[in-house]
Amino acid sequence: MLRLPRFDMVSPTTVDGVVAALQTPGARLVAGGTDILPNLKHRLDRPPVLVDLGRVAELRTIDVDGDVLRIGAGMTLTEVSEHPRVREHFPSLSQAAGLVASPLIRNMGTIGGNVNLDTRCRYVNQTDFWRSAIGGCLKSEGDVCHVVPGGKLCVAAMSSDCVPVLISLGATIVQVGPNGRRELALETFYTADGTQHTAREDGEVSTELRVPLPKGPRRATYSKWSVRGSIDFPLVSVALRIDLAQDAVSSVVQDVVAVVGVLGSRPRVVTRLDDAVGLKLSDPAFATAVATRVHAQCKPLENVPYEAPYRRQMLRVHTRRAIEALVDAG
């Protein structure tokens, strides 16, 4: 039995009400609760009050707004994954949302919670009793890091399935707080510090994700590997977006974006993919070129289960297989 610490709860019905409620020092947001409640049961925080997003109707829409698809932060992962507009324009997002945890958690967990998901580490996502045996770490009660001994920065893993995909699709995130509304590229929302891994400012709530509609033919996919086919967080996580000259896999690639998760606290946007641009998507040299860059630039750490060298090798393998699957699908 894992008990929650005591806290108060408020359930505003508007975003303004949420922002007002967040004025209480130490207040935390709860949406689906599938991340924060296990973390509170593990005593990773002791907020005086939880601000519940479950009754804010404004956050529960998906619609096309000009040339972007707006996804309300309160939409569940099941709803995002099954939504006709998401399926039509962003199959890789539908795929990633549909691969999070289990159907039960997808019925509860929201996309807003998924992009604000706390970073994860084998030394921190444990009971306080377990952690007391090692004296905690930078992200809990201690002052050392067990993953990078001597390290001054926590490198707990950004483990969201949707984040690499949303970044690959060029999404922006809308933050509303006491100083009004701001919109920032999701790519710039994450920082390298696992104890404070987003650019969220005090008192802010994420209200929506805005994903630009595709302007031309493209293929996009998400590759996740975990030990079990369900329930588990990703251990290898690669999002790919490939823009094509024509709508065929024999077409020339005009642009390619690869974003990798579950490394440190920030997803990595793989660079120098220009040697893959100009090749045909169906040319095996294209898959090799992308997989080689992903492997060269992404170095998993011992922050989650499974050996880092193995996961690094698998990044290459899963990237190549994901591209081959796109080619096979036509």
Partner 1 sequence: MVNGEVVQLAVQPHRTLLEMLRYQLDLIGSKQGCDKGDCGACTVQIDGVPRLSCITLALHAEGREITTVEGLGAAHGGCHPLQDAFDRWDAAQCGFCTPGILMSAEALLRKVGGEVTRTQVREALAGNLCRCTGYTKIIDAVVDASRPQAAETDDTSATEEAAQ
Ligand X SMILES: Cc1cc2nc3c(=O)[nH]c(=O)nc-3n(C[C@H](O)[C@H](O)[C@H](O)COP(=O)(O)OP(=O)(O)OC[C@H]3O[C@@H](n4cnc5c(N)ncnc54)[C@H](O)[C@@H]3O)c2cc1C
117 is a site residue for ligand X (CB under 6 A): yes
Q: Reduced to 3 DSSP states, what percent helix, strand and coil does the chain have, rounded to the nearest 5?
A: 30, 25, 50
For residue 53, state whether it binds ligand X (rule: CB under 6 A): yes
- Which DSSP state fits 116? T
Q: Distance between CA 247 and CA 239 in Å, rounded?
A: 20
Shortest reach from residue 109's CB to ligand X, in Å: 3
Where does this chain touch ligand SF4 (CB under 6 A) — which range of 52-60, 142-150, 200-208, 218-226? 142-150
| Backbone CA torsion sign across 206, 97, 315, 271 | negative
Identify whether the C-beta of residue 175 lies closer than 8 Å to the C-beta of residue 206. yes
- Interface map 4-33 toward ligand SF4 (x if CB under 6 A): ------------------------------
Total residues interacting with ligand SF4, rule: CB under 6 A: 14
Establish if 161 lies at the interface with ligand X (CB under 6 A).
yes
CB of 108 to partner 1, least distance (A): 5
**3 burial via Cβ count (<10 Å: 0-12, 13-18, 19+):** exposed
Instruction: For the beta carbon of residue 98, count every other beta carbon within 10 angstroms.
Output: 17
The strand ranges marked E within 19-171 are 28-30, 49-52, 62-65, 68-72
Q: Is 158 in the site for ligand SF4 (CB under 6 A)?
A: no
208 binds ligand X (CB under 6 A): no
Which member of 83, 89, 131, 139 binds ligand SF4 (CB under 6 A)?
A: 139
Interface residues with ligand X (CB under 6 A) are 28-36, 38, 53, 73, 77, 100-101, 105, 108-110, 112-114, 116-118, 159-161, 205-206, 231, 233-234
